[in-house]
Every structure is written in C-alpha cells, then in structure tokens.
Amino acid sequence: MTEVFQAGLPFGLFPGGGLKIRFDKLGIVIAIIAASGLVFSTFAVLKPNRILQGQAKTILEALPAWAGYGLLILLIAAIAAALFRTSPWIKLIAAAASLTALALAIGYAAGFLTPAGNTYARVSPASGFWILIFAFALLAADALTRLQPPPWMRVLFLCITAIGIAALLFSGSWNGLSIMKEYAGRADVFWTEAGKHVTLALGSLFAAALVGLPLGILCHRVSSLRAGVLNTLNLVQTIPSIALFGILIGPLAWVALNVPGAAALGIRGIGMAPAFVALFLYSLLPIVANTVVGLAGVPREANDAARGIGMTDRQRLFQVEFPLALPVILTAIRIVLVQNIGMATIAALIGGGGFGVFVFQGIGQTAMDLVLLGAVPTVALAFAAAVVLDALIEMNSRVPNGVSAA
C-alpha cells in the first residue's frame, strides 16, 4: 500500500487503486469524548441566582442560530481532524480554533441568555463545555507531542495562550459569566489571596531548596546518613496534609508565645506559618532524594578526569557533578512546585489564605462558581509551572545514561 500522509491526507492507496481510511487510535478516543460533550451534554446553565439550580441549555439554545450552527460545524470538523490520521499541524490548528471558538462562544452565551436588566441571573458553563475543552486540549497536547517542538517553542505556545486568555478577560467578553461576577465582587481580595498562594508555593520551595540541596549533597557524601534521612523524610510524606497542619498548630503557637519576636515575624498557631512549614517539610524528600540520585549518576570517568587535572572536591562538586546532576534536581523542583501550588489550597482551612479561601467559601455556600474562582487559577498556575520547568529541564538535559529521577 502506498502511503500518502506526506500531504496530510487521512487515507492510503492500495496497488489496485482502492482507498483505505486511516483512523488515529488516540484520535478515536478524543473524538468519542468530544462527541459525547457535543451530543449528550449541555453547553451552558442559566440560573436565577448564584446558588439555585438552573436550566441547562444546548449549544443551539444558548447561542443565536448563526453562532450555534457555526460552532457546531467547526467542532465537527475538529472532531474529524482528531479521528483521522492527518498532519499534527492540522490537528493543532483544529484544536486551537475549537478552543478559541468555545471560549468566545461561552462568553457570548452569557450575554445572550441573561434577561435584560436582571442582575441576579447567572450563566455558567455546563458539563458539555468542560468536556469539549478537555477533549480539544487533549488533541492539542497530542499534536504538540507528535510535533516535538523545542523547549522555547513550548514556552512560546504557553505565552500565546496566556495572552489570548488575558485579552478575553480585559475585553470584557466573559464579564457576563457567573465566575467573573464572583470575581467582580472580590477583585481586591482575589489578588491578595493570589499573592499569599504564590508566596506559600514559591517560598516553601525556596526554603526547601536551601536546606534540601546541601542535605542531599551530605547524604551522597556520607552514606551512613542516607538511609536515616530519607526514611525520616519519607515518614513526613505519609502524614496527610490536614493532619500535618493540625500537628503544627500547637508547637508554633507555643513558639509565638514564648520566643521573643516570633509573633512579630508572623509565627503563630494558625495562618500562613503552619502552612508554610508543612509545605516546606513535604518539599524536602523530592529535593533531597533527587539530589542524591543525580550526584550518584555522575559517571566515574568525569570525576576521574576532574581529579586528573587537579580539581579540589569543591571544584568537582560545583563544576562537574552538580551541572551533570542538574536535570534530575530540576525534576524534583518541578514536582515540588506543582505539588505546592495544589497543596497551598488546603492552607485556607487554617487561615493560611490562598485560592483555597474561595474554594471552601464556595463549598460552604453551595456556590460552584465561587469554587471555580479558586480552582481555575490554581490549575492554571500548576500547568504553567509544569510547562516552563519541563522546558528548562530539557534545555539542561545532559543526564548520563542510567540516571533517573527519584
């Protein structure tokens, strides 16, 4: 059979002239997910207020006829691009066009469905919208994986996506959505809590790196310490986050009462202090373990060559061993940062602030759009951090054969 995929065509030619349609295995799964969101789920929900249940609307009910049918045609074309074996660029363009159209359509649906002059009605994305977003985001990820773009291009795609979302936010296209109405009433608080969330995630990572990197080097150099340190840190990892937050309340409250100046530094039984300490403790194991693994994977020949030219132990560490172990250490930092961004949400339960404030307020008020106001930026931060650090790891990837992350 003669292949004709060089031209991006989804079929092959048999010697006798017959055609055989070629399906994409992952594309079939993506197409099924997208079709279920398109056919069996609704697109938007119109609620009388922020709490009560609303009326679900399909795409054709949530949008004017021209917009509804236009969106359906575009989504069906994108499903076809996913279903058949075509060029990854075609899949990526189809996914990007679909995601852009869905983002614009849900904003337009909010204005179309909201009754004129009604300040209480709320419009939210329904399950079908989220299923479609997931399906075409998966299609975009699959296309990027096949294209194998260099690290800088992946970061560029991320920046373009961020700029597009920012443009939608600043243009007011989403102002009619319920989540944006929740934001409008809490804009100042939102950015305050965002600052706390980032401070907890990045601050605990920085503190863990300051402690964990030297500790990992020490464990690598002194093998008798290695098992005890790693087992102790592994024990900390087994403690559930809520329990660890609670365990730290008592000791930190005692420190605040009995250590001069501790309270002035913000150390107290509840608030950011126990959350910061807990995230710091959770961050130590990946950093220490990957530092040990990375240094252990440095080829003996590299060390022998460094000794042969007269390098001291310190010079070998910083000029030979550490650069070679850096990709493995960066992998630990990526794991820790994504983990901390997610776990910082729970800090709100002990007064630590962060996006978890909106999540738990929304759960208490049965206001799901308020939950999304905390959940969506948390997911976006974690995703962006993963993409940037993955690119950084690949750019520094000079790991010898046999080295792997812990």
Q: For 302-318, what is the mean pLDDT?
A: 80
Structure-block tokens of residue 54: 């609303």
| Least confident span in 151-160, 218-227, 247-256, 290-299 | 247-256
Q: What is the pLDDT of residue 248?
A: 80
Provide the whole-model pTM: 0.83
Structure-block tokens of residue 278: 């807990």
Residue 108 confidence (pLDDT) above 90:
yes
The secondary structure of 18-80 as a DSSP string is: -EEE-B-HHHHHHHHHHHHHHHTS-SEEEESSSSS--EEE-HHHHS-HHHHHHHHHHHHHHHH
Query: What b/e sequence results for 232-248 when a residue is b if at least 16 CB atoms lie within 10 Å of its CB, and e otherwise?
Result: ebeeeeeeebeebbeeb
Residue 7 confidence (pLDDT) above 60:
no
The model's confidence at residue 264, banded by pLDDT at 50, 70 and 90, is low
Residue 353 confidence (pLDDT) above 70:
yes
Residue 17 confidence (pLDDT) above 70:
no
Give percent of the chain above pLDDT 90: 49
Identify residue 338 by its one-letter amino acid code: V
Alpha carbon of residue 233 to chain centroid: 25
Residue 4 confidence (pLDDT) above 50:
no
Whole-number Cα distances in Å, 284 to 242, 292, 338 = 18, 12, 14
Q: For 355-365, what is the mean pLDDT?
A: 90
Q: What is the pLDDT of residue 13?
A: 52
| Least confident span in 112-116, 194-198, 374-378 | 112-116
Higher pLDDT, 19 or 364: 364
Residue 93 confidence (pLDDT) above 50:
yes
The secondary structure of 123-152 as a DSSP string is: EEE-HHHHHHHHHHHHHHHHHHHHH---HH
Q: What is the pLDDT of residue 172?
A: 87
Residue 374 confidence (pLDDT) above 90:
yes
Q: What is the pLDDT of residue 20?
A: 65
What is the Cα–Cα distance from 162 to 200, expressed in whole angstroms? 23
Q: What is the pLDDT of residue 357?
A: 92
The secondary structure of 256-321 as a DSSP string is: HHHSTTTGGGT--SSSHHHHHHHHHHHHHHHHHHHHHHHHHTS-HHHHHHHHHTT--HHHHIIIII
Q: What is the pLDDT of residue 119?
A: 77
Q: What is the pLDDT of residue 18?
A: 53
- 10 Å CB burial of residue 95 (0-12, 13-18, 19+) is buried
Residue 96 confidence (pLDDT) above 70:
yes
Q: For 245-272, what is the mean pLDDT?
A: 75
Q: For 124-146, what is the mean pLDDT?
A: 93
Query: What b/e sequence results for 260-287 when a residue is b if at least 16 CB atoms lie within 10 Å of its CB, and e otherwise?
Result: eebeeeebbbbbbbbbbbbbbbbbbbbb
Q: Average pLDDT over the chain, rounded to whole?
A: 86
Q: For 61-83, what is the mean pLDDT?
A: 94
C-alpha torsion sign, points 104, 155, 327, 278: negative
What residue ranges define each of the domains in the chain, with the CATH number in brackets?
2-175 (no CATH), 187-395 (1.10.3720.10)
78 within 8 A of 94, measured Cβ to Cβ:
yes
Q: What is the pLDDT of residue 398?
A: 47
Residue 207 confidence (pLDDT) above 90:
yes
Q: What is the pLDDT of residue 308?
A: 80
Q: For 104-122, what is the mean pLDDT?
A: 88
Q: For 71-95, what is the mean pLDDT?
A: 93
Higher pLDDT, 87 or 270: 87
Q: What is the pLDDT of residue 9?
A: 53
Q: What is the pLDDT of residue 406?
A: 38
List, in order, residues 6 or more apart from 368 with CB less than 8 Å away.
124, 362
Residues in the chain, overall count = 406
Whole-number Cα distances in Å, 301 to 220, 306, 316, 361 = 18, 9, 12, 58
Residue 385 confidence (pLDDT) above 70:
yes
